[in-house]
């Protein structure tokens, strides 16, 4: 896992966008895996400002979706991807894949999403955030390295963290359909973004403790090409050893 520490969220957005646009310029970006939530928002804003149509033919694959929310609900990740990524970049709806968490058969929906990823040729670059409890996607603590797309129960801490996106904490769904760790690790390259002091402990565990289900993001140590971009607040708990390997 390579590390780049930047000053603040605005700088994180610029560096994140740089990496994505460079991958496109190199001809190495056809399928972009996208995370939702607050951390990658500055990257998506920067992409919209700078992409100038260069990403309109890229396919998008979302990490997860809430169970029980209609796709048109403003809190759904289908809405987030459309509103914050696809439309600003000019990407057609048929080039956007989101797990179908409104399906009656969630196991079949998970299998269908895995097939969609295979049919698209796999994810070239996967954007990830990290939860305060170390989750990536909605792979909560306890998630194994070989897990695939599946329905999961959200940790209460995750629901509390996401309550700011809903009118009431009680409105936050309790389940989601998420790519598994094994699915995520199949991406050719991974870009992990971390912002703010609440992510500091989780980021340090992800990078410095042995890989384990206690901190699902730590499984990323098994991937050969992971870039971590963290602002100074998120990097505050990293050891000098980790910080000395910036750009390695």
Active-site position among 46, 114, 124, 140: 140
Q: Would residue 156 show up in a list of annotated catalytic residues for this protein?
A: no
Is residue 64 flagged as an active site residue? yes
Q: Which residues pair with 65 in a beta bridge?
A: 177
Give the HSE-up count for residue 88: Cα atoms under 13 Å, Cβ half-sphere.
16
Burial class, 163, CB count within 10 angstroms (exposed 0-12 / middle 13-18 / buried 19+)? middle
Inter-residue contact 211 to 236 (CB < 8 Å): no
CA 7 to chain centre: 21
Catalytic residue among 46, 65, 84, 135: 135
Task: Dump strand ranges (E) for the chain.
Answer: 2-6, 31-34, 59-62, 64-66, 96-97, 125-128, 150-153, 175-178, 189-194, 226-231
Residues ≥6 apart with Cβ < 8 Å to 80: 36
d(CA 176, CA 36): 13
Other residues' Cβ atoms within 10 Å of the Cβ of residue 139:
29
**Distance between CA atoms of residues 153 and 174, nearest Å:** 6
Indicate if the alpha-carbon torsion angle 112, 89, 230, 244 is positive or negative: positive
Active-site residue identified among 9, 124, 133, 162: 133
> Considering 64, 124, 161, 231, which one is annotated as catalytic?
64
Residues annotated as part of the active site = 64, 133, 135, 140
């Amino acid at each position: 896992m390579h590390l780049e520490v930047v000053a603040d969220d605005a700088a994180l957005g610029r560096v994140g966008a740089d990496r994505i646009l460079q991958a496109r310029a190199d001809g190495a970006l056809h399928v972009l895996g996208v995370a939702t939530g607050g951390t990658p928002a500055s990257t998506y804003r920067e992409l919209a400002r700078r992409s100038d149509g260069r990403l309109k033919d890229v396919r998008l694959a979302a990490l997860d979706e809430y169970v029980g929310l209609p796709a048109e609900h403003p809190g759904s990740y289908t809405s987030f991807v459309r509103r914050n990524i696809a439309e600003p970049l000019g990407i057609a709806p048929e080039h956007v894949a989101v797990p179908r968490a409104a399906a009656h058969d969630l196991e079949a929906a998970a299998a269908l999403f895995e097939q969609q990823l295979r049919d698209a040729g796999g994810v070239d670059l996967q954007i990830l955030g990290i939860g305060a409890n170390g989750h990536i996607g909605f792979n909560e603590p306890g998630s194994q390295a070989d897990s695939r797309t599946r329905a999961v129960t959200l940790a209460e801490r995750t629901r509390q963290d996401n309550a700011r996106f809903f009118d009431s904490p009680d409105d936050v769904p309790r389940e989601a359909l998420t790519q598994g760790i094994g699915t995520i690790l199949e991406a050719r390259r991974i870009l992990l973004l971390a912002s703010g002091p609440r992510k500091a402990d989780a980021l340090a565990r992800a990078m410095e403790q042995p890989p384990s289900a206690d901190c699902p993001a730590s499984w990323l140590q098994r991937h050969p090409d992971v870039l971590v971009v963290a602002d100074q607040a998120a990097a505050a708990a990293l050891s000098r050893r980790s910080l000395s390997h910036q750009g390695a």
